[in-house]
Amino acid sequence: MNGRPLPTVVGPTENALRALLVRTLRDTEIRGYDEWVVLSMTAGGAPPHAVVRALGAPDAHVSAVADALARRGLLADRTTLTARGHDVLDAARALVGHATAPLSAGIAPEHVQITTQVLDTLRTRAEHAVAHERGPGTVAVPGPRDGVRPKGFEPPTF
């Protein structure tokens, strides 16, 4: 073991993957991560409350994202993609697949499988902590992304 705490690996990896996704989406009609999540989850049949939970954003924000997608003809409503929405999402998924395929090239399939299992476990535990426990030393602070902060944390002001 290399001695690095897992969050110091997972956090930067998440940031790099999101940056790659956002850069890849620039060549599509999908304007960023939130629209990607709304379209992807809606296409998969997820109800609106699951999309809100997945984004960790207020319902009003997710509704605004869905409304913008509907105005551009990608969503019929909060639960249905239009035919054009499916086409745009399919094309974006192909681009994202092309951009991300090299990331696991040369990694043994069994290592990819173990990594997938570990990340699924971490995600599930984090979702549970956010939904139910909040964890020791945290308090709920109203604000974007559910605002869970360590006790005494004050966001910087600029």
pLDDT tens digit sequence for 52-75 = 989 989 999 999 999 999 999 999
Q: Answer for the pair 122, 10: CB distance below 8 angstroms, yes or no.
A: yes
| pTM score | 0.78
The single-letter DSSP state of residue 80 is: E
Long-range contacts of 144-150 (CB under 8 A, 24+ apart): 144/57, 144/58, 144/61, 145/56, 145/57, 146/56
- pLDDT at position 7 is 86
Q: Answer for the pair 19, 33: CB distance below 8 angstroms, yes or no.
A: no
Tell me: pLDDT of 1 over 80: no
Domain borders along the chain are 7-105, 116-158
- 150: β partners: 138
Mean of per-residue pLDDT scores for the chain: 86
Average pLDDT over residues 97-106: 96
In which band, very low, low, confident or very high, does the pLDDT at 132 lie, cut at 50, 70 and 90? confident
Q: How far is CA 139 from CA 56, 124, 129, 150, in A?
A: 16, 20, 12, 6
CA 24 to chain centre: 15
Tokens of residue 4, six digits: 């690095």
Average pLDDT over residues 22-49: 96
Topology (CATH level 3) of domain 7-105: Arc Repressor Mutant, subunit A (1.10.10)
Who wins on pLDDT, 139 or 51?
51
Dist. CA 29–CA 35, nearest whole Å: 10
- pLDDT at position 14 is 94
